[in-house]
Structure 1
Amino acid sequence: MESSSQFALFKDSIARRILSHTDIQDSASELDDFSSYLASESWPTLPDSLRTATYEARGSVSTEISLDSTPVSFTDTLISYGFASDQEDAFNFLKKALDVYVDDACAPPPVWRTTRKSECEICEREVPLTYHHLIPRATHTKVLKRKWHPESMLNSVAWLCRPCHSAVHSVSSTDELARDYYTVELLLGRADIQKWRTYAAKQRFGVKRG
């Protein structure tokens, strides 16, 4: 089963096309199964430039595909379920889904301010938060030169309380954070951060001890 983020976006674009038919009353699980099947049948036939579409590659991505490249299984399924009347209709269904997919796959990364959380992403306490540059700013030139990450990732942030923010910087160098711990998930994969998380989650904000 295909598991790439691009494939997931493509499947979602097909699901939205299915939902655009107002007479659909299938359950969420049936919608998932149906869109997964259609996506799996058509995905391998798409050009590599489409299947690897990203914000960085947006200038070279085209949705131009040929009618003859539409899989018979895809076309027959759409016709059988009443989503298309013939091969050309099925082709247009796929084209519209691809337009939506490319818009999503090539969308710019979110501005960090729009990602703000109400809880610390490490200890999960609702306390005042700071933003932690997941790829420290001091490393940006090196990151691009050594091609550790694409430029679009440079300004990604995590929202952390001050104690957790300080803890993250205390366990790794800036280079190590940039190269190996550039997501919250990767940070939480560290045993020392997990230990800190368990400790911090039990601390009451604003209470002085001793």
Structure 2
Amino acid sequence: MRQRAPFEHCELCGRQVPLTFHHLIPRKMHRRPRFQKHFTREQLNAGIWVCQACHRGIHKLYDEMTLARDFNTLAKLQDDPAVQRHVAWVGKQRRRKG
């Protein structure tokens, strides 16, 4: 059973649209000793609720290792200029119907 988003708005762009869960440390990195050593299970499974456009944008901007190493908190994502530009663009987009 899929967990429902506890937020009504995207945590990055603020739009009220269907949300997806973004692991702050991508699941692909969870088995690597470096991440197992430095992060708890709760930290590895932590994430944010974002719209599909923001989620796709995050993964287009950075690979999994960069996300895990450099952008593993909401604040770090929000402070990044490239993410800020993408979020500003997403915020101007209309929601697709259907």
Pairwise same-fold verdict (TM > 0.5) = yes
RMSD, aligned CA: 1.6
Q: Following superposition, which runs of at least 4 residues in structure 1 exceed 3 angstroms of deviation?
A: none
Provide TM-score, normalisation by structure 1. 0.42
The alignment status of 1:118 with 2:20, answered yes or no, reads no
Residue 23 of structure 1 corresponds to which residue in structure 2? none
Structure having the higher strand fraction is 2
Asked if 1 retains the 8 angstrom alpha-carbon contact of 2:5 and 2:19, the reply is: no
Determine the C-alpha separation between the residues in 2 that align with 1:133 and 1:196.
Answer: 18
Determine the C-alpha separation between the residues in 2 that align with 1:171 and 1:191.
Answer: 11
The alignment status of 1:184 with 2:74, answered yes or no, reads yes
Residue 63 of structure 2 corresponds to which residue in structure 1? 173
**Deviation of 1:165 (Å):** 0.2
The alignment status of 1:144 with 2:36, answered yes or no, reads yes
The answer to which structure, 1 or 2, has the higher relative contact order (CA under 8 A, 6+ apart) is: 2
Provide TM-score, normalisation by structure 2. 0.86
Structure having the higher helix fraction is 1
**Deviation of 1:179 (Å):** 1.3
**Alignment size in residue pairs:** 93
Which has the greater radius of gyration?
Answer: 1
Structure 2, unmatched stretches of 5+, are none
**Deviation of 1:114 (Å):** 7.7
1:135 partner letter: I
